[in-house]
Amino acid sequence: MSSKLWGGRFTKSAEEWVDEFGASISFDQELVLEDLQGSLAHVTMLKQCSILPEEDADQIISGLKSLQEKAEKGELTFKVEMEDIHLNLESMLINEIGPVGGKLHTGRSRNDQVATDLHLYMRNQTKVIVELINDLQEAILEQAKKNVETLIPGYTHLQRAQPISFAHHLMAYFWMLERDKQRFTESYKRINISPLGAGALAGTTFPIDRALSAELLGFDGIYENSLDAVSDRDFAIEFMSNSATMMMHLSRFSEEIILWSSQEFQFVELDDAFSTGSSIMPQKKNPDMAELIRGKTGRVYGNLTGLLTVLKGLPLAYNKDMQEDKEGVFDTVKTTVGSLKIFAGMISTMKVKTDVMEKATKNDFSNATELADYLASKGMPFRKAHEVVGKLVLFCVQNGCYLVDLSIEQFKEASELFENDIYDALNPYEAVKRRNSAGGTGFAQVQLAIEKAEKLVSK
Ligand code: ARG
């Protein structure tokens, strides 16, 4: 007979290397506290429903609590022969309190057990991530508040387009993260549902009270269908999809920080604590953390694609394939938590080189739209104005100057509508200030956005 907890039907044991291939304990030990929490709720429910005699249930409860204490101190040693976290803990319980420990699994299966553990885990991690997004938003907000009137070239196609407020640029990421935060928060209601009591797939003959165990675990409700309860991993997919979107935002932000800290831009300088040197080139200061976050976005996408692929061909209900859900989820948590923490530190310590940024807004043609708008506001059709200014830009390019360098006579030659106030219009500070349409980069608008944003971050 096999030595396994499920060994009754077997005449021989699997070889060690086969056991190893099937085991998940090397990674699902991450769920140790969730598994114990789930078991405690289950046995409490069994007791209250008089499915187990009080005395037996109490023994199990104290055994589980002692395992909990040991787990918290990191004193439990898991065995590969015991396959996974569920069987490891069950056999430890039996060792601790004797055969009565074997009554814990009454009316339960590892299939609803593992699903319960994962729901509890995702619930905790979702809260952690929401908090960390909030921290990063605060860091962005602090930098933004200091840079409302700092000018930076705004780009499209990575070509200078129009000058903007640096705070406005930073705040774009604040709002992306706000949506990320909403997505994680909204997903919580689908995570916080109890599969416990679904059994292996069909429910159980014992008169269990699923609502009670759900309540004991702080779930908001129970799965309506036992097959769905044990087969569903949508909540994990949703979590990884939300993480993928958030990482995509961090990756784009990273890319900008990498560009900005390059010799070519020199718009920001990252703190030494978030940079590294080169082993050969003494002058180097590399934005490694930003690069790593950009890189790690790939593994988060991979985890999402991995689980979607694992699930796509699975018949109902549980299949061992589903054991493959966990590593991707754990890795996604570790990666997003790490990236968010690093990012907040990187942003709050980043030195903004306002003088370089502002200089950049002067030595270019990003004020050309101002000129076209100037003519349009004096009645010239915008299309025509665009053409007039386009010709002036071409003239400047051919003569090695900028628009501000042209004399009023030269402007008037292009159009009689130009007056002396054209030079104010060409000033990037004025250009930014005037873009006061809702959500625009005008300083008043940026200030308003910052005030709105401040109400959205919990201090
Ligand atoms: N280790 C398994 C997993 O992670 C637990 C559920 C196993 N259930 C079973 N019937 N083999 O999915």
What's the average model confidence in pLDDT over 84-110?
A: 98
Residue closest by Cα to atom 11 of ligand 1 = 320
CATH number of the domain enclosing 317: 1.20.200.10
pTM assigned to the model: 0.94
Q: Minimum mean pLDDT among 13-27, 201-215, 225-239: which range? A: 13-27
Structural domain contains residue 92: yes
On the question of pLDDT at 9 being above 90, the answer is no
Structural domain contains residue 2: no
Helix and strand totals (H; E) in the chain? 19, 6
Whether 118 is in the pocket of ligand 1, judged by its Cβ within 6 Å, is no
CA 207 to ligand 1 centroid distance, Å: 24
Averaged confidence pLDDT in the chain: 95
Residues 6+ away with beta carbon under 8 Å from 271: 346, 349, 350, 351
Residue 459 confidence class, pLDDT cut points 50, 70, 90: low
Structural domain contains residue 256: yes
pLDDT value, residue 60: 98
Instruction: Give dist(CA 407, CA 378) in Å, integer.
Output: 20
Do residues 177 and 304 share a domain?
yes
pLDDT value, residue 1: 54
Whether 235 is in the pocket of ligand 1, judged by its Cβ within 6 Å, is no
Residues 6+ away with beta carbon under 8 Å from 409: none
CATH number of the domain enclosing 369: 1.10.40.30
What's the average model confidence in pLDDT over 393-413?
A: 94
CA 329 to ligand 1 centroid distance, Å: 16
CA 23 to ligand 1 centroid distance, Å: 9
What's the average model confidence in pLDDT over 172-182?
A: 98
Whether 23 is in the pocket of ligand 1, judged by its Cβ within 6 Å, is no
Q: What is the pLDDT of residues 18-71, one digit of tens each?
A: 999 999 999 999 999 999 999 999 999 999 999 999 999 999 999 999 999 999
Can you tell me which atom of ligand 1 is nearest the CA of 322? 12
Residue 7 confidence class, pLDDT cut points 50, 70, 90: confident
Do residues 291 and 387 share a domain?
no
CA 372 to ligand 1 centroid distance, Å: 67
* Residues carrying an active site annotation: 157, 278
pLDDT value, residue 2: 66
pLDDT value, residue 367: 87
Residue 14 confidence class, pLDDT cut points 50, 70, 90: confident
- Give the ipTM: 0.97
Whether 89 is in the pocket of ligand 1, judged by its Cβ within 6 Å, is no
Do residues 14 and 77 share a domain?
yes
Whether 111 is in the pocket of ligand 1, judged by its Cβ within 6 Å, is yes
Do residues 90 and 206 share a domain?
no
pLDDT value, residue 15: 83
Do residues 84 and 162 share a domain?
no
Residues 6+ away with beta carbon under 8 Å from 128: 337
Tell me which residue range forms the domain holding 351.
111-144+154-359
Whether 28 is in the pocket of ligand 1, judged by its Cβ within 6 Å, is yes
Select from 84, 88, 311 the residue to mutate for testing ligand 1; criterion: most ligand atoms less than 8 Å from CB.
84
Q: Is 152 helix (H, G, I), strand (E, B) or coil?
A: strand
Structural domain contains residue 1: no
Q: Which of the pair, 240 or 366, is modelled with greater confidence?
A: 240
